[in-house]
Amino acid sequence: MVLAQLGGSISRALAQMSNATVIDEKVLNDCLNEISRALLQSDVQFKMVRDMQTNIKRIVNLEALAAGTNKRRIMQQAVFTELCNMLDPGKPSFTPKKGKPSVVMFVGLQGSGKTTTCTKYAYYHQRKGFKPALVCADTFRAGAFDQLKQNATKAKIPFYGSYMESDPVKIAVEGVERFKKENCDLIIVDTSGRHKQEAALFEEMRQVSEATKPDLVIFVMDSSIGQAAFDQAQAFKQSVSVGAVIITKMDGHAKGGGALSAVAATKSPVIFIGTGEHIDEFEVFDVKPFLLQKLSEGSFTLRLMYEQFQNILKMGPIGQVFSMLPGFSSELMPKGHEKESQAKIKRYMTMMDSMTDAELDSTNPKLMTESRIIRIARGSGRPVRDVMDMLEEYKRLAKIWGKMKGLKIPKNVQHMSK
Ligand code: GDP
């Protein structure tokens, strides 16, 4: 199961709760069991799922709720809050600013994609107008410096390292000092990895961190490690103060739940994802708190649907993540039919391109009279049947979203939605 199915299951579970006539413990348990099953199948760590269940049950003490209180609402809100927290623990502990010197240290296991990611991160910021520089403090892996040097040269990013020096702390300090003098505003320190978590690695990380005083420590994790994600991320977090996470190899067959586990273990957000070996196969990751906001408003317009489609197409395989939003999943993008689903989405978008702003921003489907439908069909060169199809899809999604109306986004997530 990938995140796409996960989104579908969660929305179905929440919607089922809306449909239940009597709200009792069984309804809550059914809902939680369905969500838990989905999370476990996506490789989210067992303990995390259990904690989520416990937290929700603690909030929703059905017996203690006075008669007449809206149990359904309280339950939905509790589940929604927990999921929001799981998806988005807040801002990274630091965000680099142009013109202000900052040090960002990368940590992670060997093979996780750390070195590649350092360059991608530098390149991304360079294009945004930063003056980045790379420091190779990985003295453990033979060839690490060559790799960084090669990548950095290609991207025209200054770099620092040594073939001779074996003390990573010394190299890191020298590199940081040099680039501070050169007025670089984003000094990226690549540290050593190891094949597995071991004391020596963590000790070295701690020393480099102490000596360079990074503004931000980024933990890099390979998305394919599955269930091991939580423990690995936690081990790093316990040694250095991880403030953000980057998940690599999201272009592969990873189920994606590892990302959620890493977020939970480090209490830090995933800020980017790696989607290939190439330097620009790197994307900002944003679990769309904005959409959570919309969801809680319950107002679902065609424009919102259009934006979701855009995201899904842009993100390629990781479009699955957006499917964590109710409705955008199994029905619209059934597993094994991704190509057809993509074609359908593109078709829908072409038709929406022929709609007016008023139509796109309306939440009133009655606006879509027969003559308008014919006009849209003509404008987009599609049969009327296709337009009807697209509007049906819209109504289906709007109905699901409508059921969530009024859910409150937890405070720590709200900042992102501005
Ligand atoms: P390090 O040991 O953690 O520094 O890992 P490297 O940066 O050397 O990366 C290990 C391998 O993973 C290399 O072959 C990279 O090209 C590859 N790699 C890194 N990031 C990604 C990614 O996002 N997608 C894919 N497909 N490969 C990646």
Output the DSSP codes for 34-47. HHHHHHHHTT--HH
> Can you give the pLDDT at residue 291?
54
Q: Is 282 in the pocket of ligand 1 (CB under 6 A)?
A: no
Q: Is 316 in the pocket of ligand 1 (CB under 6 A)?
A: no
pLDDT at position 186 over 80: yes
The single residue listed with the structure tokens 């945004």 is 128
Instruction: Name the amino acid, one letter, at 213.
Output: K
Tell me what ipTM this predicted complex has. 0.98
Q: Is 110 in the pocket of ligand 1 (CB under 6 A)?
A: yes
> Alpha helix locations (H) across 282-366?
289-297, 302-315, 319-322, 338-353, 357-361
Query: Which atom number of ligand 1 is nearest to the Cα of residue 281?
Result: 23
> Can you give the pLDDT at residue 200?
86
Ligand 1 geometric centre to CA of 276 (Å): 8
Query: Which atom number of ligand 1 is nearest to the Cα of residue 147?
Result: 8
> Alpha helix locations (H) across 182-219?
199-212
Q: Which domains does the chain possess?
A: 3-87 (1.20.120.140), 103-284 (3.40.50.300), 289-402 (1.10.260.30)
Q: Is 140 in the pocket of ligand 1 (CB under 6 A)?
A: no
User: In the predicted model, what is the mean pLDDT of residues 31-56?
Assistant: 83
Q: Is 112 in the pocket of ligand 1 (CB under 6 A)?
A: yes
- Distance separating alpha carbons of residues 116 and 278, to the nearest angstrom: 8
pLDDT tens sequence across 266-280: 888 889 989 899 999
* Token pair of 296 as six digits: 């809680």
> Can you give the pLDDT at residue 4?
47
pLDDT at position 2 over 50: no
The closest alpha carbon to 32, from 49, 7, 19, belongs to 49
> Residue 362: which H helix or E strand, with range?
none
CA distances from 223 to 91, 100, 161, 252, 273 (A): 21, 32, 28, 8, 9
Query: Which atom number of ligand 1 is nearest to the Cα of residue 252?
Result: 26
Q: State which of 123, 248, 278 you would mutate to test the pocket of ligand 1, scoring each by most atoms of that ligand within 8 A of its C-beta.
A: 248
Could you tell me the pTM of the whole model?
Answer: 0.71
